[in-house]
């Protein structure tokens, strides 16, 4: 096991950042030491600190975006939108906190009242992903802090520099250093943090494999909150679309933005047999025009690289496996350069592949499936153990009503990309895409727990039924009392 984490630019190989691995026990102990004082502060105090954080990040947009681009390989324009999402998260989370976790009192008889309040859990661990190394963990951390929790954040070992920058912005805003802790490390440190007795819950964004392991680990621990935001094998149906060019653009946005490294990316394109060729041709033409390159390229690329060469190999192997099983390539997925993780977008018809594996291939690869009718399209859309995102591109409101009613997914869109999710709405899925604890606007739900109280200014109680009559009081004949013996 290495005792140092090194982060390198996936495009150039240049070392960006280096630090020794952290101590999960020490970080949890520090957070436990700072939590009580933070939780005792008023909501307005904590919110004000988070608003300062938002302003600090706003003032560092260019610096922050540059770091995200250099550490992930994503284009600068996209990195900048990620930083803007970090800024906007505070206002959204404040609104969500007061809407989702309110304090209420309902008056009863004799000055009695029923009260509802919410309490923080304590110390929450946050495990962040590499694809959105600032926005996604921030989506857990901000609502956790507003609710009064302390946080131990372990960023992905592939993007630790962004994680450190994010934590530094919290501290600069006046969030105490012992309330937001950074744990540097790899999978071993993540396992130690998840298993630590001193955490009161874990908020995870990552792969289904990691989520299943955590679900098993936390199964015998109902005392600890677990929120899982996992991946998807997301369907995109295009059916009777009046504007083929617009539909093709939505397909490309859904499948290939962030080099396909979005949990909401479209993985399966479902089309009507016999009417699919104009759409497929329009998609292929856009693919041929897509600029792939480093973040600082001019003109700006549409997509950058995947996170590293190992990921590029995994995605390439997935494409080759589909070909070997009978898939028909429409646009070949290939490495642009052997020593760099740039991939061309892949498009492959897998209609004749009977043993397609229901997995999330985390890269720019889209599988085409032709079906005879819309009922078959719906069945194919739901032919997955996942249930994160699904989208229909169609001019028919009636088809959308059927699609919405029958889709098994937490995000169901119409004439929008599969990855068009709003931070002002809940974000999460069903099946293997999560554990029914959606994040984004609903993150407030898992960052505090409700406490119901029946309250009265004085004790008033009597038992009116179910008691025996009281025994008769005994009387004594004093003449029969004997003198005490000497």
pLDDT score of 473 more than 80: no
Token pair of 155, please?
């960023």
Check residue 476 and give its pLDDT. 62
Q: Write the pLDDT tens digit of every residue in 47-64.
A: 999 999 999 999 999 999
Q: Is the pLDDT of residue 270 over 80?
A: yes
pLDDT of residue 421: 83
User: What is the pLDDT, as a whole number, of residue 107?
Assistant: 87
pLDDT tens digits, 132-179: 999 999 999 999 999 999 999 999 999 999 999 999 999 999 999 999
Is pLDDT at 181 greater than 60 in this prediction? yes
Helix H, strand E, coil C: the string for the chain is CCCEEEEECCCCCCEEEEEECCCHHHHHHHHHHHHHHHHHCCHHHHHHHHHHHHHHHHCCHHHHHHHHHHHHCCCHHHHHHHHHHHHHHHHHHHHHHHHHCCCEEEECHHHCEEEEEEEECCEEEEECCCCCCCHHHHHHHHHHHHHCCEEEEECCCCCHHHHHHHHHHHHHCCCCCCCEEECCCCHHHHHHHHCCCCCCEEEEECCHHHHHHHHHHHCCCCCCEEEEECCCCEEEEECCCCCHHHHHHHHHHHHHHHHHCCCCCEEEEEEECCCCHHHHHHHHHHHHHCCECCCCCCCCCCECCCCCHHHHHHHHHHHHHHHHCCCEEEECCCEEECCEEEECCEEEECCCCCCCCCCCCCCCEEEEEEECCHHHHHHHHCCCCCCCEEEEECCCHHHHHHHHHHCCCCEEEECCCCCCCCCCCEECCCHHHECCCCEECCHHHHHEEEEEEEECCCCCCCCCCCCCCCCCCCCCCHHHCCCCCC
Bigger pLDDT: 19 or 470? 19
- pLDDT-derived band at 472 (thresholds 50, 70, 90) equals confident
User: Is the model more confident about 424 or about 272?
Assistant: 272
Does pLDDT of 484 surpass 60? no
Mean pLDDT across the stretch 335-360?
Answer: 95
Give me the pLDDT at residue 483, please: 57
Q: Among residues of the chain, what percentage have pLDDT more than 70?
A: 97
Per-residue model confidence (pLDDT) at position 59: 98
- pLDDT tens digits for range 26-48: 999 999 999 999 999 999 999 99
What Rg do the C-alpha atoms of the chain give, in angstroms?
28
Catalytic residues, which ones?
229, 263
Region 116-138 average pLDDT: 97
Average pLDDT over residues 272-290: 97
Using 50, 70 and 90 to split pLDDT, how confident is the model at 481? low
Domains and CATH numbers, the chain: 4-230+437-451 (3.40.605.10), 234-422 (3.40.309.10)
What is the tens place of the pLDDT at every residue in 282-332? 999 999 999 999 998 999 999 999 999 999 999 999 999 999 999 999 999
| pTM for the full predicted model | 0.93
Express each pLDDT in 249-268 by its tens digit.
Answer: 999 999 999 999 999 999 99
pLDDT value at 403 more than 90: yes
In this predicted structure, the answer to whether residue 227 has a pLDDT above a threshold of 90 is: yes
In this predicted structure, what is the pLDDT of residue 485?
55
pLDDT for the residue numbered 352: 95
At residue 111, the pLDDT reads 80
Question: Mean pLDDT score of the chain, rounded to an integer?
Answer: 95
**Binning pLDDT at 50, 70 and 90, where does residue 383 land?**
very high
Q: In the chain, what percentage of residues exceed pLDDT 90?
A: 91
Q: CB of 360 within 8 A of CB of 233?
A: yes
Mean pLDDT of 82-86: 97
Q: Is the pLDDT of residue 208 over 80?
A: yes
């Amino acid at each position: 096991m290495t005792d140092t984490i090194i982060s390198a630019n996936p495009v150039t190989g240049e070392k960006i950042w280096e630090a020794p691995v952290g101590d999960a026990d020490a970080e949890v102990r520090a957070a436990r030491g700072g939590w009580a004082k933070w939780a005792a502060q008023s909501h307005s105090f904590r919110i004000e600190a988070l608003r300062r954080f938002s302003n600090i990040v706003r003032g560092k947009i260019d610096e922050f975006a540059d770091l995200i681009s250099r550490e992930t390989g994503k284009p600068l324009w996209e990195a900048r939108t990620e930083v803007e999402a970090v800024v906007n998260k505070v206002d959204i989370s404040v609104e969500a906190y007061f809407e989702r976790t309110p304090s209420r009192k309902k008056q009863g008889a004799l000055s009695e009242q029923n009260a509802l309040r919410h309490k923080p859990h304590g110390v929450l661990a946050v495990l962040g992903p590499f694809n959105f190394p600032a926005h996604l963990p921030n989506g857990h951390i901000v609502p956790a802090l507003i609710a009064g929790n302390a946080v131990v954040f372990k960023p992905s070992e592939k993007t630790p520099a962004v994680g450190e920058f994010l934590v530094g912005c919290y501290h600069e805003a006046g969030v105490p250093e012992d309330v937001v802790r950074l744990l540097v490390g790899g999978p071993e440190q993540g396992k130690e943090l998840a298993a630590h007795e001193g955490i009161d819950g874990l908020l995870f964004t990552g792969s289904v494999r990691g989520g299943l392991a955590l679900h098993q680990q936390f199964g015998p621990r109902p005392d600890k909150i677990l929120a899982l935001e996992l991946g998807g094998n997301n369907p995109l149906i295009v059916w009777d679309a009046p504007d083929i060019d617009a539909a093709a653009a939505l397909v490309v946005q859904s499948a290939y933005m962030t080099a396909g490294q979005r949990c909401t990316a479209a993985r399966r394109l479902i089309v009507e047999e016999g009417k699919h060729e104009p759409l497929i041709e329009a998609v292929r033409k856009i693919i041929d025009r897509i600029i792939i390159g480093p973040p600082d390229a001019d003109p700006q690329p549409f997509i950058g690289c995947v996170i590293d060469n190992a990921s590029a190999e995994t995605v390439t192997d997935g494409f080759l496996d589909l070909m070997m099983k009978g898939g028909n390539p429409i646009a070949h997925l290939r490495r642009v350069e052997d020593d760099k993780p740039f991939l061309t977008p892949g498009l492959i018809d897998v209609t004749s592949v009977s043993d397609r594996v229901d997995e999330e291939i985390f890269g720019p690869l889209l599988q085409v499936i032709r079906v005879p009718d819309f009922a078959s399209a719906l069945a194919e859309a739901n032919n997955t153990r996942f249930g994160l995102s699904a989208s229909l591109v169609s001019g028919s409101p009636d088809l959308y009503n059927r699609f919405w009613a029958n889709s098994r997914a937490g995000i169901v869109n119409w004439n929008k990309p599969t990855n068009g999710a709003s931070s002002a709405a809940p974000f999460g899925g069903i099946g293997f895409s999560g554990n029914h604890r959606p994040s984004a606007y609903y993150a407030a739900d898992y960052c505090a727990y409700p406490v119901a109280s029946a309250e009265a200014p004085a004790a008033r109680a009597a038992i009116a039924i179910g008691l025996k009559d009281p025994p008769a009081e005994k009387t004594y004949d004093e003449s029969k009392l004997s003198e005490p013996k000497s």
